[in-house]
Amino acid sequence: MILSTPRLDLREMTDDDLPALRAILHDPVVMVAYEGAFSDAESLAWLRRLQERYAQDGFGLWAVVLRETGGMIGQCGITRQKIEDDEVIEVGYLFQRAHWRRGYAIEAASACRDWAFRTLEAEDLYAKVRATNVPSMNVAIRLGMTVRRTFTTHYRGVDMPHLAFALTRGEWSRTVPGGS
């Protein structure tokens, strides 16, 4: 177990989680910010990339398990990312549509944010958000982040304007209850 919150446990994803992962990555509504649903091959590649990150970095996107049912309802965690030429630490979050709008994303992402500052001793934490992804922006705002700059990525043949949300260690310790 990596992290626990009042309703959720976060742990590394295994091959047994592929069906729950597909319930996220194969849903065209969930994946609208990624230009549509993934195939089986793309979902398997996503899991393998996460497992590489666990081995190389010791962290990645983790499985979010609803403790009440024991089922995986989402993925949330910390990854190394690039924003243009800069290497950043990012919090990421993707949840099954059936579990949206109950506060699970902010609950998991807040725990990951605090883990990044306390355990990883990050100086800044970012969230890369596609400029059309309002629910994701709202999670970033609730994490205490503000927009630092705009940038464009090229993914699946499409230019995607993005916002770089971020929170510094100083802002976290000044503004987040219990942040220090």
The three-point CA angle 15-18-24 to 5° equals 150
**Which tokens go with 73?**
């309802």
d(CA 40, CA 11): 22
Number of residues in contact with ligand COA under rule CB under 6 A: 18
Q: Does 129 bind ligand COA (CB under 6 A)?
A: yes
Q: Does 38 bind ligand COA (CB under 6 A)?
A: no
Q: Which of 133, 144, 165, 179 touches ligand COA by CB under 6 A?
A: 133
Residue 120 CB, nearest approach to ligand COA (Å): 19
Give the nearer residue to ligand COA in terms of CB position, either 86 or 170.
Answer: 86
**Binding segment for ligand COA among 46-54, 78-86, 97-105, 117-125 (CB under 6 A)?**
97-105
**Binding segment for ligand COA among 12-20, 37-45, 96-104, 111-119 (CB under 6 A)?**
96-104
Q: CB-hemisphere CA count at 13 Å for 176? A: 22
Q: Which of 105, 145, 163, 166 touches ligand COA by CB under 6 A?
A: 105
Q: Does 141 bind ligand COA (CB under 6 A)?
A: no
CA distance between the termini of the chain? 22
**How many Cβ atoms from other residues are within 10 Å of residue 83's Cβ?**
17
d(CA 13, CA 48): 10
Q: Which of 14, 39, 138, 175 touches ligand COA by CB under 6 A?
A: 138
Residue least distant from ligand COA (Cβ): 103
Footprint on this chain of ligand COA (rule: CB under 6 A): 30, 33, 93-95, 100-106, 129, 133, 135-136, 138-139
